[in-house]
Structure 1
Amino acid sequence: MSHSPDPDEDDLSTIPAPRPVFHAEQALLGALLFDPRLLGDVTGISADSWSTAPHAALFAAISTLPPPDPDEHRKTTAWLNQVLAAARKEARGLSASYLHTLIQVCPWPRHAAAYARMVEAEHARRRLQAAADLLVQTVRDPSLPDPVQTVLARADALAAVVDDIATRFPPRSGVLPRTPSAPPATVPDHAEAAEEEQLLLATATAHPADIESVRWLLAEDFTQPLHAGLWQCLTALARRHEPVDPVTVLWEAQQRGLLLQDGSEPGDVLRLLAEPVGSVGHWGQRVLTRSLLATTDQTGRRIKAYTGDPANTPFQLVAGARRVLADIGAIRTRWQHATRPPLTQPARAARAGPAGRRAPAVSPPARPVAAGRTH
């Protein structure tokens, strides 16, 4: 006869098994409770390094209470009682039996430094994951008044976390995370992005002389392969100083095989290039800004994917994070060039070279030069 589970019964099979770091935390706390002198061997651990509040409370109590006399500690539980009383202020569910369990499950107290390194490594993973989560959330926040500056500040904060982890876990040469790249992100406002790209292409076709002023814009910034290819056609024609109009761009696209790859009809391309609006610089900045946000989102999600694989060590996480953060650095440089205010005339003259030395108010008398002597 089958047993119908009581809805009030605890289904222990649904409780996930503790992660390996939980056992490392127990071993470390057990070692410190068994021999408080081992606290001197533990570095890189703080109260926020732990995965559970009770463990954090116990470590805080162990770290702040004066260590007991070793001989007295072997005979009585007085110091353990003090630790329990102090830890209960932050974690009321702690019990004396749990402290004794921690001591019993510690395999070798003399391995406390190794256990601490494990706890520190997992804390580094959680810190990096939290910073990447915050970056992705910021990119996708539609309420930001200045999304680019806010997102770049979050990216800097993420880079600071990576640098801090690297001081304790320096990346090793050639050791990259094994996690595959995160799947491509869904581009928000896809229709709006396509419309802005079309306006840029049409305006650049009508004003090809302005293409040189947006050299910071690359084909990879476009969301549509056809648009990226047409931008390459436009920049190639402008670079070769050839005539630029919808027909010449269409011909260049045919020569590059773009129409065959995309499947677009010639008439569609001509119509796309025939309605210029505004300025090339304005639409170029819009396209680049969207590309910067998409790049930042992709970077954050890739780092999250790295941290989600427990097989990746802190060394690998640092190496992988720095590698993808370089993508943000590259597009940030181009965005800064795009948004830099135009130089005024005096500033242009100053950048042309240092000003000549001013002549003295009164010229000194010339010295006679001996015949046959040169300077």
Structure 2
Amino acid sequence: MTPLDRAEQAVIGAVFLDPSQLDRLTPWLRPEHFSRPSHQALYASVLALRERAHPGSTAVVGAVPVSWVADAVTEAGTRTRGVTASYAHQLVAACPHFGNAVVYGRMVLEGAIHRTVAEHAVRLHQAARADTVRGGAEETLLRADALAGMLGDLARRWSVDARPVPPPTGPELVARAPAVDGELHADEEFLLACLASRPDQFGVVVGWLRPEDFADLGHQQLYQALGALHHRGEPVDQLTVLWEAQRRGALNDLDLDAERVLHLLDPLGVAGSADYFGERVVSAALVRTAAESAQRIRALAEDAAVPAGRLIGHALHALGPLDEVRRRWHTARSGPPPGKPQPPAPERASPGRAEAARARSRPHRVAPQPLAAAAPAPVPSRTPRRSPA
């Protein structure tokens, strides 16, 4: 039997011994916070008896009628199966002290917080996987909103501020992302080809498309190289991008090599809209980020050593990256949201700035130093000859 099971038994046993403890429990402890169906049924039963003004609900300690427990067992039998009078007396015996009912109740609520957060994280992860197959993001966003709302409600019940709190540094909770889906891989490749063939389209996507939105690491590096050339106002073609990727140390045998760069940026037959494919890439990044956030939150919720208040803050912090991608996804679909002006997208560098950037890439020419003028050789002094007298 786990400590949580014992805490649930102690709460119900305390209510059986002292019905007045319900006055301190009912404002924040509900039947669904209990993990076992029998405990849920018994706690709901005493609440129902109290609502109907049962004589035992106002009895003092030591004068509680037997009908208080007996009627609660009968009421619980209508809600679930397997609740017996002997088990009710076992709950009374399991209560160390009925005056500590609030403390035991907080244990039950803390266990419910862990369990509820884990359940919502699982639902978010399932919705993200389903949207990955469907190619949408609507169900993922609904589950993410439900998770955020649930965390706010739990924060109020636990009497803590619903604010993000970064978890302590530790081992990575989420493994490396799986292989990129074939359709998404093709979308990313076509987007890069569109930007390489028409660099003017960078102005459309640069405000909301980030390198980390690409699922493929090689595509991330190519997008960074393209963006650097565009920002400096330099020509964009296969060779310039290849050279920029090499300067950034992106060429290797695993994610990116010269042949792959030339193949991806082949301008032949490229005719498409960068904003369309960019929106698809951001949508996929939104779903992927939701799945990663759900995995982190679930791992935190399944760690019983994490206090409930910290779990709520850590879970809200794990949703932060999803909120950031969601804002950019909304901008890609419909422009900046009303009332929230977005910072202007960076413009292409001015001619003077571009020339200065190109100058930094050219080898410096060392001006020849003028040779010092040779000093005239000294004329050896000659002793004057005396004329004959």
So what's the TM-score if we normalise by structure 2? 0.78
Q: Give distance in 2, aligned partners of 1:330 and 1:175.
A: 16
Report the alpha carbon displacement of residue 208 of structure 1 after superposing the two structures with TM: 0.2
Q: Give the equivalent residue in structure 2 for 1:346.
A: none
In 1, Cα distance between equivalents of 2:238 and 2:47? 73
Is the CA contact 1:177–1:319 (under 8 Å) kept in the aligned structure 2?
Answer: no
Change (3 A) 1:202 1:184: same
State the partner residue of 1:183. 174
Question: How far apart, CA to CA, are the structure 2 residues paired with 1:143 and 1:231?
Answer: 23
CA shift, 1:277, in A, is 4.0
Cα distance in 1, alignment partners of residues 95 and 184 from structure 2:
58
Residue 287, structure 1, aligned to residue 281, structure 2: yes
Matched, 1:27 2:27: no
Aligned-residue offset at 1:19: 2.2
1:338 paired with 2:332, answer yes
Task: Report what 1:306 is aligned to.
Answer: 300
**Matched position secondary structure for 1:44:** coil
> Contact (CA 8 Å) 2:18, 2:61: kept in 1 or not?
no
Per the TM alignment, residue 180 of structure 1 is displaced from its structure 2 partner at its CA by 4.4
**Aligned equivalents of 1:71 and 1:218: distance in 2?**
66
Alpha-carbon distance, 1:175 to partner: 7.4
Output aligned runs, 1:87-166, within 5 Å: 87-141=76-130, 147-166=136-155
- In the other structure, the counterpart of 2:377 is none
Answering whether residue 28 of structure 2 is matched by residue 44 of structure 1, we say yes
Partner in structure 1 of residue 221 of structure 2: 229
Contact 2:218 2:255 in 1 (8 A): no
C-alpha distance in 1 between matches for 2:118 and 2:48: 29
Unaligned 5+ runs, structure 1: 1-17, 344-375
Task: Tell me, in whole angstroms, the C-alpha distance in 2 between the residues paired with 1:178 and 1:26.
Answer: 36
Corresponding residue for 1:63? 47
Q: What's the CA shift for 1:258? A: 1.2
SS in 1 for 2:251: helix
Q: How does 1:173-322 map to 2 (within 5 A)?
A: 176=167, 180-184=171-175, 186-187=177-178, 190-215=181-206, 216-260=208-252, 262=254, 264-275=256-267, 276-322=270-316
Name the SS for the 1:258 alignment partner: coil
Offset from partner CA, 1:113-137 (integer Å, 9 cap, x none): 1011111111112211111111111
Q: Pairwise CA RMSD of aligned residues?
A: 2.5
The alpha carbon displacement at 1:231 in A equals 0.4
Assess, with a 3 A threshold, how the Cα gap between structure 1 residues 335 and 314 changes in structure 2: closer, same or farther: same
Q: TM-score, normalised by structure 1?
A: 0.80
User: In structure 2, what residue type is equivalent to 1:311?
Assistant: A
Task: Give 1:342 shift.
Answer: 10
Please report how far the alpha carbon of residue 20 of structure 1 lies from its aligned counterpart in structure 2 after TM superposition.
1.3
> 1:73-122: CA deviations, max 9, x gaps?
63741222111111111123111111111111110100001011111111
Secondary structure of residue in 1 paired with 2:82 = coil
Larger Rg: 2
1:42-96 CA distances to partner (integer Å, 9 max, x unpaired)? 1411121111111111111111212515369637412221111111111231111
Structure 2's unaligned 5+ residue stretches are: 338-389
Whether the 8 Å CA contact 1:24–1:115 is kept in 2: the answer is yes
Pick closer, same or farther for the CA change 1:91–1:260 going to 2, 3 Å. closer
Distance in 2 between the 1:173 and 1:287 partners? 27
Q: Deviations over 1:119-163 (max 9, x none)?
A: 111111221111111111111115986731221121111100111
Q: 1:227 to 1:209 in 2, by over 3 A?
A: same
For residues 202 and 28 of structure 2, the distance between their equivalents in structure 1, rounded to whole angstroms, comes to 53
Q: Equivalent residue of 1:311, what SS? A: coil
What corresponds to 1:328 in structure 2? 322
2:10 alignment partner AA = A
Residues 165 and 71 from structure 1, CA distance in 2 versus in 1: closer, same or farther, beyond 3 angstroms? closer
2:78 is the alignment partner of 1:84:
no
Shift, 1:187, TM fit: 3.9
Instruction: State the distance in 1 between where 2:302 and 2:169 align.
Output: 11
Q: Is the 8 A contact 1:36 1:67 kept in 2?
A: no
Contact 1:132 1:304 in 2 (8 A): yes
Letter in 1 for 2:36: T
Shift of 1:176: 3.2
State the Cα deviation string for residues 3-52 of structure 1 (Å, max 9, x = none): xxxxxxxxxxxxxxx22111000011111001111111214111211111
1:225 to 1:114, Cα distance in 2 relative to 1, 3 A = same
Bigger mean CA deviation after superposition, 89-98 or 252-261: 252-261
Q: Which residue of 1 aligns with 2:344?
A: none
